[in-house]
Amino acid sequence: MFDYSIYEQIERYLNNGMVAEEKAAFEALLQADSRLAEKVREHRTLLKAMRQHGQRQSLKHKLNLIHAEMEATAEAEATPSLFKTFWNKHRQTMAVAASVSLLSVFGTLWSVQQLKEPVQQQTARYVELRREVERIKKEQRAIIDNIIGTEAEKPAPRAARFSGTGFAVSSDGYIVTNSHVIEGADSVMIENKAGLRYKVTAVYRDKSHDLAILKIEDPAFEGLGKLPYTFKTTESDLGEKVFTLGYPREDIVFGEGSLSSSSGFEGDTTAYQISIPLNPGNSGGPLLDDKGNLIGIISGKQAGQEGAAFAVKSAYLLKVLGDMAGTDSTEVSLPRYNSLTGNSRPHQLKKLKDYVFVVKVYN
C-alpha cells in the first residue's frame, strides 16, 4: 500500500510537474518497482476516463444549447430559409460533436474494461461496442433529420442497416450466422455470389454462444443442393491450417491462416483463436480446415490486435441444432459426405462459395 506522498508524486509525474532530475529518478524507480508501475498505469487510466467524462458532459451541454436554439427558432415560426441558415451555421459543430461522441464512447468503454474483472463470453463485449456505436449514430441522424426534415417530405429508400455472413447447414434452407448480426432486425435477406437472393426468418437463437439459425422462407426457393462440407465433432489441433469465406464488403473475400489457440477470448473454451485478419462483415462466416471440414463459425476479433480473431467451435453449433430440435421438433438434416477433401484450395472455394451468403439486415 502506498502513502499519500507517493500518490502526490504520481500526480506530478503524470501532469509533467517534475523537473528533469526528479523525473529521471522516478522513472528509474518505476523500472525497479513493478507495483508502483502498475499503480501509475491504473492512475493514468483513471485520469483518462475522468477527462473523457468531462468532454462528454461539455458536448452534452453544447448539444442542449443547440437544441434550445432550434426550439426557439421553431416557436418564432421561422421560414424554411431560416432553417437552412441555422443548418449552415451549425453543421460543422454537429459533425465535430458526432466524431467526439464516437471517440469518447470507445475510450470510456476501454477504460472501464481495464478496471473490471474479465468476462467469460467474448460475444458480450462485441455486441456492446456495436450497439453503442449504432445508438450514437442513430441519435446524431435524428438531430440532423430534425434540422433538415422540412426540406425532404419523401421517405428515403430502405437500406441495409448492418451486414454479416452466413452459410448453409442443410440443403433445405437452414442457414447459420451470429446472433448479434440480426439483433434488432425487422427483416433479413441473404444473397450468395451467384446472385441468388432469399428472404429468411430467425427460427432459433442462442445468445450465449452468439449463434442464430435462419430458415429460407421464399416461394422461389427450391433447395440448395448437396452441401460439399461436413461438420467436425472433435477438437482441431493447434497450428492447423484454416480458411474462411465471408462478406466484409459486397464481394466475397477469402482469408487463410492457422489455429493459434484452442480457446477464445480470455480463455473461452467454446471458441478457437485464429490468425486470420477479419472485418465486421465476416461475422457468422464458416471456418474450415484443410480437408474442408467445418470446424467453427467466425464470431469476432480482439480490438487493437490485428490477426487475433475468434470462432465458435462447430461442436456448439451442433448442440444448438440439437436444442432446436428438442424445442420445436425441427430436425435439420446435416450433410454426411465431404467432397472438398483432396481438392486444391481454388477448387474447394469454387464449390464452397454457393453456400456462403451475405446476410443483410433491414429495419
Structural domain boundaries in the chain: 33-151, 157-363
Residues facing residue 230 across a β-bridge? 293
d(CA 155, CA 144): 15
CATH architecture, domain 157-363: Beta Barrel (2.40)
Q: Is the dihedral of CA 179, 185, 187, 190 positive or negative?
A: negative
Q: How many CA atoms lie within 13 A of 155 on its CB side?
A: 3
Q: Is the dihedral of CA 12, 13, 14, 16 positive or negative?
A: positive
Whether the CB-CB separation of 274 and 309 falls below 8 Å is answered with yes
CA-CA distances (angstroms) from residue 18 to 3, 24, 207? Answer: 19, 9, 51
Per-residue pLDDT of the chain (363 residues; tens, 9 = 90+): 445 577 777 878 888 888 888 888 888 887 878 778 888 888 788 877 788 777 778 777 877 787 777 777 656 554 455 555 555 666 666 555 555 555 554 555 444 444 444 434 444 444 333 444 455 445 555 655 555 554 445 455 555 566 899 999 999 999 999 999 998 888 999 998 888 899 999 999 998 899 999 999 988 898 898 999 999 989 999 999 999 999 988 889 999 999 999 888 878 888 999 999 888 789 999 999 999 999 999 988 877 666 688 999 999 999 999 888 877 767 888 888 999 999 999 999 999 999 999 999 987
Looking at residue 302, its pLDDT comes to 74
Nearest to 287 by CA among 200, 176, 197, 208: 176
Looking at residue 296, its pLDDT comes to 95
d(CA 171, CA 151): 49
* pTM beyond cutoff 0.85: no
